Structure 1
Amino acid sequence: MGTTTVQTSATSLHRLPAPLPLRQQADVRDRWLTQRVLDLLPDLMDRAGIDLWIVVGREYNEDPVLPTMLPATWLSARRRTILVLHRSDDGVCPMAVSRYPVGQFVAAWDADEFPGASPEQSQWAAVRRIVEQADPRAVGVDVSATFALADGLSHTEHRLLTEALGPYAERMVPAEQLAVRWLETRLPEEIDAMHGLNALAHRVIAEAYSPAVIQVGTTTALDVAWWIRQRFHDLGVEPWFQPTVGLQRAGCPLADERGTVLPGVPYDAVVQPGDLVHCDVGLTSLGLKTDTQRNGYVLRPGETAPPAGLVAAMAVGNRMQDLTTAAFAVGRTGNEVLAAARAAAAAEGIAGDVYSHPVGFHGHAAGPTIGMWDAQDGIPGTGDHPLHPDTVYALELCVRVPVAEWDGQLVRMALEQGIAFTDRGVEYLDGRQTDLLLIPSS
């Protein structure tokens, strides 16, 4: 049931990018949205058994699905924004019951068309009219006890929608699977763009792990973290979480053998020769997210390469990646992938944890959870979601390896790398790290 791993060269297939100007980004995102509605949504709605999907959000309290359907120039909902997607024999008709035009969505409400009604009453009356005309078998609404990203219909909006639909409210069903599949499924063009975004993240990390940023003996790990955040901002992209940079050092062992508590070197410690430097960063551009961890080694005076033990630890981490991606298969759940990867690692004597997750419109995105650092026996609910092709993940994991040059001290080699899962197998986005980045000490 395993899958193949497709190794690609970022330099031959995807040039290192500069972020697109915002106006060009908007054009790209709007083109993608049209393509997603036309090419992806009909099949997704059919598979979910939903022929009318209603997505509702109020300004500053948006359903997480809503921003993924809005034009790029809409940075949030406006007043109450109601999107209605009707599956018919001709495809999907996207309609907007909104005070303002919503991009490619067909305007389906005039606030003056219901004399004597308040604007709110008129808006809900328009929704009722659409539902009556469509006469759907199932009206999907975004409620879910499992996936937060599919649970965006607020209590008040649920009540008002139920009242507006009257007898048709009996046809309301959770759109959980439809919402998750919409959020997790990537166009080929989106996957290609994510190669470029991961290349950008890798480039910034390489800059951060250089003498231009790290003056060994002076610069702190916290300085490097803030440099990365500032660098993203200066490049025209933003992080979706605060970057972190941590150090491991001979003589400062992990707090416990699992490394569940961070190593004993403070975040504001000064970078010293012989340190293992680790970062965790994620950027946002084109409406998509990345999530990346990379490791570097600060050369001691006279060294030209890392200690063999650290090189071996990286190789063990790569092997753990191989065992995890080998467990990827369409239809397998996240929990099944986790169990298979951990069993394979145990058979090879590898001590490690897997805590991978989907990434796309959101950083910790909708789709199958493949372990959490503090839940290695599986996650009920989100871990039971099956893998589908044309999805993207942050392959996140760690291994714990004793390093002879550090008197047998355990090193926690943590890796996180974007991967795409398609009919061709698993593809590393801009390639994965197999060698420690080297940081000169002088």
Structure 2
Amino acid sequence: MSLVAPGPTRTAPPPLRVQADVRDRWLTQRLLDVLPGLMDRAGIDLWIVAGREYNEDPVLATLLPASWLSARRRTILLLHRSDDGVTPAAVSRYPVGQFLPAWTVDPREPAGRGQWAEVRRFVEQADPRRIGIDVSEDFALADGLSHTEHRLLTEALGPYAERLVSAERLAVSWLETRLPEEIDALRGMNRLVHQVIAEAFSPAVVRVGETSPLDVAWWIRQRFHDLGVEPWFQPSVLLQRAGVPLAEDGGTLLPAVPGDAVVQPGDLLHCDVGLSCLGLRTDTQRNAYVLHAGETDAPAGLRAALQAANRLQELTTAALVPGRTGNEVLAAARAAAADEGLDGDVYSHPIGYHGHGAGPAIGQWDQQQGVPGAGDYPVHPDTAYALELAVRRTVPEWGGQCVRLGLEEGIALTDAGVEYLDGRQTDFLLIG
């Protein structure tokens, strides 16, 4: 499902009811076609995902019908792998979408007791060898089983509690794996983001001598809202200026011009934005240059910095090979960059249900030697990433001042290789 029509024309996202139908259809397809293989790969026979209203396991939220905005009371989902596929069952006070109802409330039973007793009966009947639960030290998104739910489940299972294992690998793979239709929707979402950024970094929004980066950031957020989508984080717009060197912050160099400063000719603007739609997320960074009178392009030194960032993108995507861990991808990209004399950092991450999604961490801005735990997870096909990185380069036209140029683009990794979800920035947006 494409969110935005091809070409320069932008269309509104589908109505919410249509989006809900699409999301429910995707969930059915994922349960039928994706989950069995993921459970086999993780060696899990029964996956128990449980949570209470307003304290949902992050995985639980991806299994609920689109019309459910949270769990209701205590919601327990059981996903049993058998020769026929995966049987999804719900031990819940209310029907849960595609899940088979596995519990009828008996008002004579104390609250909760009958619910956990039904979980025990289900387990006894299924007799699984390995029961996966969402506990994880390395992935917060796979660590959603609360302390109380874990205790009550363990008590209810009795001797079967010895079969409980971490479902970390299963939870991460469920969250990171994308259907072809989901990748197509991400293409449209990224196209919409790029169009909004192009609007934001234009004379229609940026009035030189009047507008501040903070004004532009709020304009982007309002624009998303007006278009029927919402950001998953507050958009940011940063400004770099000749004569204002980068400042050290936590061991890295970052722009030092205040966010409420007024944009002037010769400024370099950078944005970081992400939207939410259809249960998916995007994450994008692009750059614009404010032309001096008589200029038709950014200075050669800035264009060279953008070319260096593009080259670092190419080296990183070349290293993004299924089977490698995130730390191995990072090391390969950094080694290739060092061979070419590129000074930069790579800190890319999975994206999908969540902005900083589950899957292999490919560096962090402050961890360029690797990320323990999350960086040791392997790369798989049928996944999506925010290809995020930055380079540092001196600009002769700015008196040799160093600039930090960050880029972030949505990409998909399939058996066909790496695909940019709506191209990448190779030229500055120009504000004249």
TM norm structure 1 = 0.95
Separation (CA, whole Å) in 1 of partners of 2:9 and 2:127: 50
> Secondary structure, in 3 states, of the residue corresponding to 1:402?
strand
Distance 1:338 1:11, change over 3 A: farther
Separation (CA, whole Å) in 2 of partners of 1:43 and 1:256: 47
Quote the residue 1:272 is aligned against. Answer: 264
Q: Check if 1:238 corresponds to 2:230.
A: yes
Percentage of matched positions with identical amino acids: 74
Segments of structure 1 that go 5 or more residues without pairing to the other structure are 1-9
Quote the residue 2:157 is aligned against. Answer: 165
Matched positions, count: 429
Quote the residue 1:58 is aligned against. Answer: 52
Q: Contact (CA 8 Å) 1:398, 1:412: kept in 2 or not?
A: yes
Q: Which letter does structure 2 place at the counterpart of 1:234?
A: D
Separation (CA, whole Å) in 2 of partners of 1:195 and 1:421: 13
Quote the residue 2:334 is aligned against. Answer: 342
**Larger deviation, residues 297-306 vs 154-163:** 297-306
Separation (CA, whole Å) in 1 of partners of 2:179 and 2:51: 25
Deviation at 1:19, TM superposition (A): 1.0
In structure 1, which of residues 307, 328, 341 is the aligned counterpart of residue 299 of structure 2?
307
> Secondary structure, in 3 states, of the residue corresponding to 2:226?
helix
In structure 2, which of residues 381, 385, 399 is the aligned counterpart of residue 393 of structure 1?
385
Separation (CA, whole Å) in 2 of partners of 1:117 and 1:204: 55
Quote the residue 2:193 is aligned against. Answer: 201
Quote the residue 1:81 is aligned against. Answer: 75
Q: Contact (CA 8 Å) 1:14, 1:196: kept in 2 or not?
A: no
Deviation at 1:12, TM superposition (A): 6.1
Kindly report which structure 2 residues correspond to 1:255-404, keeping only aligned pairs within 5 A, or say none: 255-256=247-248, 260-404=252-396
Distance 1:258 1:100, change over 3 A: closer
Quote the residue 2:99 is aligned against. Answer: 105
Quote the residue 1:416 is aligned against. Answer: 408
Separation (CA, whole Å) in 1 of partners of 2:400 and 2:330: 28
Distance 1:157 1:259, change over 3 A: closer
Quote the residue 2:146 is aligned against. Answer: 154
Segments of structure 2 that go 5 or more residues without pairing to the other structure are none
**Bigger relative contact order, structure 1 or 2, given CA contacts below 8 A and separation 6+?**
1
Separation (CA, whole Å) in 2 of partners of 1:127 and 1:256: 54
TM norm structure 2 = 0.97
Q: Check if 1:18 corresponds to 2:7.
A: no
Q: Contact (CA 8 Å) 1:146, 1:381: kept in 2 or not?
A: yes
Q: Check if 1:250 corresponds to 2:245.
A: no
Separation (CA, whole Å) in 1 of partners of 2:296 and 2:252: 32
Q: Contact (CA 8 Å) 1:14, 1:195: kept in 2 or not?
A: no
Separation (CA, whole Å) in 2 of partners of 1:96 and 1:300: 63
Distance 1:286 1:14, change over 3 A: farther
Deviation at 1:117, TM superposition (A): 2.0
Quote the residue 2:129 is aligned against. Answer: 137
Quote the residue 1:6 is aligned against. Answer: none
